Amino acid sequence: MGVTWWWITGGVILHLTAYTAHQSPIMAGSTKSLAKGSPAPGPVPDGLIRAYLMRFCPFAQRAQLVLIAREINYEVVYVNTLNKPDWFFEKSPFGLVPAIETSEGQLIYESLIVCDYLDEVSPGKKLTPEDPFQKAQQRMLLEHFFKVENLVFKILGALKNNADTSALKAEFLKKLILFDEIVSKLNTPYVGGSSVSMADYMMWPIFERFSIFGVKDCLEKTPHLHQWYQLMLQDPAVKATFTKPEVQEGFFKLYLQGIPEAVDYGI
Amino acid sequence: MGVTWWWITGGVILHLTAYTAHQSPIMAGSTKSLAKGSPAPGPVPDGLIRAYLMRFCPFAQRAQLVLIAREINYEVVYVNTLNKPDWFFEKSPFGLVPAIETSEGQLIYESLIVCDYLDEVSPGKKLTPEDPFQKAQQRMLLEHFFKVENLVFKILGALKNNADTSALKAEFLKKLILFDEIVSKLNTPYVGGSSVSMADYMMWPIFERFSIFGVKDCLEKTPHLHQWYQLMLQDPAVKATFTKPEVQEGFFKLYLQGIPEAVDYGI
């Protein structure tokens, strides 16, 4: 478990939880998110990175995967992204999670930028290849993956509008099969080689949510991605941040109804 | 001027032009683009980088700015992006310029990935800061810039459909003013500091095209961007790749009509 501490600002108790390597805020997390009207958290303690996250956000999970995989000491501030505190826009100008803050007050937002920064500043083996061409290959692979990701968000948009998703799901399957072919040509267990790398972690949170979008069965038609999915389930950082499908679904039902409490579902 | 050579494949003469530092293929360029039906170019000669470009594409210009600024020896293959050769999809799977090819047959596509790769593999002072936070700052600035860029492409879409663009232009001005405020806080002549950097070059090609989208006058209301614009006009790589507004407009008129010859306008 992490070490939890509190401080009192404007009469409201803020509580943050600090984690060291291999601890999981999501598994440990019983901390409710900060919503509109909450006071801003104080300075980040020396030697820690603060991550502004939302428990069910796939982009926030990207940051958390890297924080755990790179054994970074960090604390989490959960933000209610459905009812954002005003101060959050000073931390993350687009109002999006993840964002991180250092003890020097440096702020970094946008998931891919956050993850690259965390990987670069941390000692030890990097998740991103040092070789410029291999690095470019990972980024190009992600560009292909984004075609899949974009369709997931189109399905989300349709679900929000109570629209029929069958055509979008058929398009999704086509794109996933194309992506499976690309992945098959890599001939490696992970997309970056023989061990887990940045691209694997950037993709994973979307795959973890396939069930809530009703596209999990598509994996049966994409054997290479299916194999990769099974392998990723065994990864320690994935295990530490994994949210059970029934909990995801509980959140998602409330989220689709626009209920701000959705972000604290299950705690 | 560059050194031009030819070879004959399938009865068709291909000609490519090689450039060394500070030479401008656009200024020198009298080479027509390769269209559907053209044979694929052969292997890339040792020690050269081949760039697949389209003369009027802002994303292709990004790559060319970096090729010139980083004094890379390269050759250009102009591709008719309005009537693409089949082989081009083997070079650039999304069918987009820029793409680059090395003499080892490595292929890199997507403008930001191409530019980062070129910067990383070239000796000498990098355009991207080495410091992880400064690097993240440049990337975050670009995320803000992309809000401006996206509106430019919305205006383009409207122009293609002969739709009214006044509402989009008003929205564009708002976004540009917001971006100007962000740039003003940097307090540096270039967006990355006291000398030109990667983010400046990634933004420039869109600014160079403001006149064809009818939004050039917006710069009068964004004093910091206006100052930056004037400064960038003096940059050697910008000068070398600059296309006169009247030539851009000549291309653009044909482009809006869907005429494939647009890409070779003026030669």
Q: List CB contacts of A29: < 8 A, sequence separation 6 or more.
A: A17, A55, A76, A78, A267
For residue B204, the model assigns a pLDDT of 98
Q: Is the pLDDT of residue A25 over 50?
A: no
Q: Is the pLDDT of residue A28 over 50?
A: no
Domain co-membership, B140 together with B215 = yes
How close B135 gets to chain A, by Cα (Å)? 8
Partner-chain residue, chosen from B113, B120, B140, that has the shortest CB–CB distance to A140: B113
Task: Name the DSSP class of A3.
Answer: E
Evaluated on CA atoms A38, A40, A44, A49, the torsion sign reads positive
Domain co-membership, B148 together with B92 = no
Domain co-membership, B114 together with B188 = no
Q: A136–B113: do the CB atoms touch at under 8 Å?
A: yes
Give the domain range for residue B42. 3-121
d(CA B204, CA B233): 9
Q: Is the pLDDT of residue A20 over 90?
A: no
Strands A74-78 and A49-53: parallel
For residue A19, the model assigns a pLDDT of 55
d(CA B56, CA A35): 47
**A178: CATH:** 1.20.1050.10
A249 within some domain: no
A265 within some domain: no
Q: Which residue of B has its CA nearest to A99?
A: B140
A215 within some domain: yes
Evaluated on CA atoms A244, A245, A250, A254, the torsion sign reads positive
Q: Mark out chain A residues that contact chain B at CB-CB < 8 A.
A: 93-94, 106, 108-110, 113-114, 116-117, 120-121, 132-133, 135-136, 139-140, 143-144
d(CA A16, CA A78): 9
For residue A187, the model assigns a pLDDT of 96
Residue B101's DSSP bridge partners are B50, B107
Instruction: Suggest the residue from A66, A104, A108, A109 to mutate for an interface test with chain B (most B CBs closer than 10 A).
Output: A108
d(CA A161, CA A180): 30
d(CA B158, CA B161): 5
Q: Is the pLDDT of residue A14 over 60?
A: no
Tokens standing for B128?
């991207």
Which residues of A are designated catalytic? 57
Q: A117–B106: do the CB atoms touch at under 8 Å?
A: no
Q: List CB contacts of B230: < 8 A, sequence separation 6 or more.
A: none
Q: A109–B139: do the CB atoms touch at under 8 Å?
A: no
**B102 C-beta neighbours (distance < 10 Å), count:** 17
pLDDT in tens, A68-116: 999 999 999 999 999 999 999 999 999 999 999 999 999 999 999 999 9
Residue keyed to tokens 């967006």: B191
Partner-chain residue, chosen from A94, A106, A139, that has the shortest CB–CB distance to B133: A106
pLDDT in tens, A190-227: 999 999 999 999 999 999 999 999 999 999 999 999 99
**B74: CATH:** 3.40.30.10
A113 neighbourhood in chain B, CB within 8 Å = 136, 139-140, 143
**B189 C-beta neighbours (distance < 10 Å), count:** 15
Domain co-membership, B114 together with B154 = no
How close B136 gets to chain A, by Cα (Å)? 6
A vs B: CB pairs below 8 A: 53
From residue B260, give the alpha-carbon distance in Å to each of A126, B169, B256: 45, 27, 10
Instruction: Suggest the residue from A128, A140, A146 to mutate for an interface test with chain B (most B CBs closer than 10 A).
Output: A140
Helix (H) or strand (E) holding A130: none
Q: A133–B106: do the CB atoms touch at under 8 Å?
A: yes
Number of domains chain A is built from? 2
Q: Which of A68, A65, A205 is CA-nearest to residue A145?
A: A205
The pLDDT confidence band at residue A17, using thresholds 50, 70 and 90, is low
What predicted TM-score, i.e. pTM, was given to this entire model?
Answer: 0.91
B263 within some domain: no
d(CA A50, CA A34): 14
Cα–Cα–Cα angle for B97, A200, A239, rounded to 5 degrees: 160
Last residue of a domain, one of A90, A121, A152: A121
B212 within some domain: yes
Strands A3-9 and A12-19: antiparallel
Low pLDDT (below 50) residues in chain B? 1-16, 20-29
Domain co-membership, A104 together with A9 = yes
